Chain A
Amino acid sequence: AQSVTQLGSHVSVSEGALVLLRCNYSSSVPPYLFWYVQYPNQGLQLLLKYTSAATLVKGINGFEAEFKKSETSFHLTKPSAHMSDAAEYFCAVTKGGTGGFKTIFGAGTRLFVKA
């Protein structure tokens, strides 16, 4: 079965500091992995996705994530946090099945950025 685990429901960083949000997946086949962001009172939007091309994926707003098969991880990073990065971040994987597929989301990590 495929699932997604996000380590840390809350992460707090100072403005200008490195952002690291952790995501581990379990999958018996190469997965398709996504990071979505949800700003306060807004819908989710895609940050980046891994679809078995390059293992280092660059997304919007300076975020990037590296797919590491040996560690079954897809951690999200940004070198320097901005106040505007404060939001909730969701890691997701798509899971295929005989009836189609499902998208499985992690529980989310809320990022706080301190001035």
Chain B
Amino acid sequence: GAGVSQSPSNKVTEKGKDVELRCDPISGHTALYWYRQSLGQGLEFLIYFQGNSAPDKSGLPSDRFSAERTGGSVSTLTIQRTQQEDSAVYLCASSLGGGMKETQYFGPGTRLLVL
């Protein structure tokens, strides 16, 4: 596709369940980023990948959160034992290179609601 895609677009889950969020970056983009946007708040940087490697995982909110990227393309953000405070919009972005000047291209997000 032409842009970054994310699935599902919406996810409702029960507290304690695990969820997987998927991101398909723009073809050829080497860097991929995950953010969380909570209601009334800005974007919180979670993690970024250069290729399949994540140089810095310190932005992940807790050890319930994990992310992986395979084949330098698709990425999955997994939240285990979801809590109500995990409810947010999870945004994925990609960039052609992994430098600090790069423009990030954002997907439409996955809206997660934990009941």
Chain A residues proximal to chain B, CB less than 8 Å: 32, 34, 36, 42-46, 49, 51, 90, 92, 94, 96-97, 99-108
Contacts and interface: CB of A to CB of B under 8 A. Distances in A.
Nearest to A97: B56
Nearest to A92: B43
Contact of B101 (A51, A102, A104): A51
B84 interface: no
A43 B4 contact: yes
Given A43-B106, A43-B107, A103-B104, A108 B56 contact: no
A106 B4 contact: no
A70 B5 CA distance: 40
B100 A32 contact: yes
Nearest to A51: B101
Please classify the interface of chain A as helix (H, G, I), strand (E, B), loop, or mixed, using the class held by over half of its residues. Answer: strand
Interface bin, chain B? 20 to 34
23 contacts: A32-B101, A34-B103, A36-B106, A42-B108, A43-B4, A43-B107, A43-B109, A44-B91, A90-B43, A96-B100, A97-B56, A99-B56, A99-B58, A100-B48, A100-B50, A101-B56, A101-B100, A102-B48, A102-B56, A103-B104, A106-B42, A107-B41, A108-B42
A78 B33 CA distance: 29
Nearest to A53: B101
5 pairs of A and B residues whose beta carbons are closest in the complex: A100-B55, A99-B56, A43-B106, A94-B100, A105-B43
A100 B57 CA distance: 10
Interface string B33-61: 10100000111110010100001101100
B10 to A, nearest CB: 12
A105 B33 CA distance: 13
